[in-house]
Amino acid sequence: MPRLCEVLASDAGEAGYELDFGRDGFDTAYLDVRVQAPLTLTCQRTLEPFVLPVRVETRLGLIRHEREEAALPAGCEPLLVAGDGKLGLADVIEDELLLALPLVPVNPDSRLPDEATGSAADETPAAEREDNPFAVLRELKNH
d(CA 89, CA 18): 11
Identify the domain containing residue 64 by its residue range: 2-112
Domains contained in the chain, number: 1
The strand order across the sheet containing 49-63 reads: 16-23, 29-42, 49-63, 76-80
Structural domain contains residue 101: yes
Structural domain contains residue 21: yes
Give average pLDDT by consecutive 10-residue segment, the chain, 143 residues.
Answer: 93 93 90 96 92 96 91 91 87 96 89 62 56 72 68
The overall pTM is greater than 0.85:
no
Structural domain contains residue 136: no
**Beta bridge partners of residue 37, listed in sequence order:** 54
Check residue 74 and give its pLDDT: 87
- Whether 89 contacts 60, CB under 8 Å: no
> If we measure between CA atoms, which residue out of 48, 56, 51 comes closest to residue 11?
51
Check residue 135 and give its pLDDT: 72
Check residue 122 and give its pLDDT: 53
Structural domain contains residue 138: no
Structural domain contains residue 85: yes
Structural domain contains residue 133: no
DSSP assigned state of 83: T
